[in-house]
Each structure stands twice: as structure tokens, then as C-alpha cells.
Amino acid sequence: MRILYICNNLATFILNEIVELKQLGHEILILAEGSSRIHQVLNEPIIHQHGLENGFYRFSRASTRSEKYMAFFPWLIRDFFSHPIYVSKACSYLLTHYPSPKYGVVDYLDIRHFFDKNIDVIHSPFSIPSVIDKVSLLSKVLHVPYTLSFKAHDIWERENLSGSKKRIAKVKGASRIFTIAKYNRDYLMTQLELDEDIQVIHDAINVDMFKQIASKNVKNSIIAVARLASDKGLHYLIKACHILHQRNVEYTCTIVGEGPEKQAYEKLICELHIPNICFTGYLPNSQVCQLLQSQTVFVLPSIIHCNGHSDILANVIKEAMAMQLPVVTSDIRGVDELVIDEVNGLLVPPDNCEAIADAIERIFKNPDLGRKMGQQGRIKVEQEFNIKTEVRKIEKIFVDVSSEKKV
């Protein structure tokens, strides 16, 4: 089966999903936005290791309108002689479904690569409005079914949800829609007034890559792994460390990641004279695993950003749970589908550094509780957030919609 992924954000967990599908015997093509420097560093070895580079295309880049049209018209003429029906369908669709020609021009330049690729299914793993446009356009041109997956920023950033509502006919035109959490499903069903149920398929991890082995635990050690952005709420963790210091609780805190808030965090630490917090920058999975081996507790105090964006069942929490770490995280947007309070972690109110400090100190003082929570966390991830089982569900959807087209 030949599946085309179209995505604005080729995050590592999306690439892991693609690799799993390839290992199940499917041919995968990818059309993706130019990744950030960090994603390129993390993803390019995976792309080459699994032979994905031959089917990898990037979104078209043009800085001015004249550049777009200078690229568009020569290709349009060439394509007309080789694929006249596809070009005619594309032009008709662009004229009738796009509010401005400039957007249609770029989308045409992106989708034209696949006129002769015999695609069976088109999939959008992050269904932001601009990707929904590309997927719908190519589907109409090739007469191929498409599927949409909604995850986090494609739902919770207000501009994206508003854009999806304006494209409701294209959303409903998808052969299947699925999302990563029951919380998302209920919200989408209400906001988009969808008639058919949305299937829940969790974003998952390769649990075999995250296995706890015997190692010396660093007493009272805290770890956070996240992009250093405001919605991750790490300034509340830093303030919680300040509270622990004022209580004379010994601790070390390691923060893994990079991002725009790093200088602000370092300034806060300096102003409050908070000891024993270190930033490692981005680390590959192998090094993150090594760090997780020796920690006492994993903390991710996510918040809901003013633009509406927030985490929804963050993969880093699953990785920590797979490593049998107790988790402290904010009780927001369906996180209780993953972290069960008092069973495999502790849920705290968002924006509450005092509650974070209390939860951390409780785990420090009760190592048996931390071990039991860690064991339950591993079981939860193995059963419900395992990439082997979740990708099989995605595969079944692709097979079903492809078969329906052929009937």
C-alpha cells in the first residue's frame, strides 16, 4: 500500500509512526514543511536509516508573489502535456475553492509531485487549515481518499480551529477522522458539529526503547524534558525548586531542551538565587534515557497558553512513565487519560508552584510510593500507548478507506 503523509511539522513521533508503517510493509511518501534545525538534527538520521529520503519532498518556498507565479506557470504547462486531466481538475478546484490564487499556486506546486505516484491514501497527521487545503486538493485531483488526525496545536490554537470551521466541508470530506484523546474527540465533535464518531488512537512511543535497567538512583533528583516555551510551564517548576530550597529540602533539577524562554528562566534562577538547576540543551533519545534511569521524579507543569495552545498527553510524559518514573504534571485537557492521580503519578492544578513543590517533596519522602507509581506508569504505557498496537489501528483505517474506494 502506498501512503502519502502531508504535514507541516514532521516531529520525531510522527516520523516514528511512519517508520512503523514502513516496517509493516507499506510504502510511505512524505510531503513536509522545512523542519526546524533541531528536528533536522534528530530526524535526518532516522530518514536515512530507514530509506525514506527517496520519497521525501518539502513544501515549496517562494518569498514573493512573482517567484510563485514564475515557478507555477512553467510547471503548469509541462504538467498539462503529461497529465492533462489532473491539471484540469486542479485548475478547476483552485478557481472555485480558494479565496486567493496565491495560496492555490503554492499548493499546486506541492501536490504536483504526486500525479504519477499511484497513491492509495493521503493522510494529514497534524490537520491545520493549510494542510487540510493541500490534502483536499490532491484528493480531488487524484480521486484518492484522505484521512485527518487532530492532535494539539491544530485544535487548541484558536486560529487553527477557526480555520478548520471555515473548511468544514473539507473536514467532513475526509474518509476517516481520528484524534489522540477522548478529551479532543468530545471537543471536536461539539465544535465542528460532526455527525460521525471520531476514533481515538493515541500518539504512542516505542516502549522497547525506554526500559528501566538497574542503575544508581540520584537521591531527590528532578527531571523535566520539554521545549523551553511558555506553555510548558517550566517557570512554575523553577519557582517550586525555590520553595523546596526555602524549606531546606535537598534536590537537584535537570531541564532538558531548548527554546525561546531559556534566557528568562536563567534570569529567574539568578534573581531568586535558586541552586542546583542545570540546563542540558537538546539531547538525543539515548542520552535522555540515560538521564531518566537515575532520576527520582519527572515534572512537566504545562499550562494553557493565552492563544489556547497546550499539551495534550505529551509524549515525554509517556517516555518517563515507560522508564518507571513517577510523574508530576498539571491537571489540564485530558491528561487524566494518561496520568491517574495517586496511581502512576500526581496531578496538580496548573499555575501552582506551591502544589508542584508539595508533590515533589511527597515523592522524595515516600520512595516506596514513587516506585509503585513508576511500575503502574510502565503498565499503563505498555497497554494503551504502545506504538506497535496504536499504529496497527492506523494501518487498519488506511486499509479500510482504500478498500472502500475500490468497491
Q: What's residue 406's pLDDT?
A: 57
Contact 312, 182 (CB under 8 A): no
What pLDDT, on the 0 to 100 scale, is given for residue 53? 84
Confidence (pLDDT) at 148: 97
d(CA 365, CA 363): 5
- Among 158, 122, 160, 167, which residue's Cα sits nearest to residue 30? 122
Mean pLDDT by 10 residues, the chain (407 residues): 93 91 96 65 73 87 80 93 96 89 87 96 96 96 96 88 92 95 93 87 93 79 96 96 98 96 96 97 89 95 84 93 96 94 97 97 96 97 96 97 76
Strand partners, 5: 30, 123
Give the separation between CA 65 and CA 59, rounded to whole angstroms: 16
Predicted confidence at residue 216, as pLDDT, reads 65
Adjacency order of strands within the sheet including 121-124: 56-58, 27-32, 2-7, 121-124, 146-150, 176-179, 199-200
pLDDT at 309: 75
* Contact yes or no for 317/338 (Cβ under 8 A): yes
Q: Supply the pTM of this predicted model.
A: 0.91
CA dihedral in degrees (87, 88, 89, 91; nearest 10)?
80
Q: Which pLDDT does position 2 carry in this prediction?
A: 96
How far apart are the C-alpha atoms of 2 and 14, rounded to whole Å? 17
CA distances from 129 to 16, 64, 356 (A): 24, 21, 36
Sign for the pseudo-dihedral over CA of 163, 310, 124, 107: positive
Q: Please provide residue 403's backbone torsions phi and psi, each rounded to the nearest 5 degrees.
A: -65, -40
What is residue 212's predicted lDDT score, i.e. its pLDDT?
A: 81
Go through the domains of the chain in sequence order and give each one's CATH number: 2-59+118-204+387-406 (3.40.50.2000), 207-384 (3.40.50.2000)
* Strand order from edge to edge, sheet including 221-225: 277-281, 252-256, 221-225, 297-300, 327-330, 345-348
Nearest to 329 by CA among 368, 297, 292: 297
- Cα distances (angstroms) measured from residue 222 to each of 29, 129, 217, 300: 40, 38, 11, 10
What was the pLDDT predicted at 223? 98
In which element (H, E) is residue 224 found? strand 221-225
Nearest to 229 by CA among 204, 206, 260, 253: 260
How far apart CA 209 and CA 288 sit, in angstroms, is 11
CA 346 to chain centre: 23
Q: 10 Å Cβ neighbour count for 123?
A: 26
Rounded Cα distance between 26 and 247, Å, is: 56
- Model pLDDT, residue 194: 85
Helix (H, G, I), strand (E, B) or coil at 312: coil
DSSP, collapsed to helix, strand or coil, labels residue 310 as coil
pLDDT number for residue 139: 97
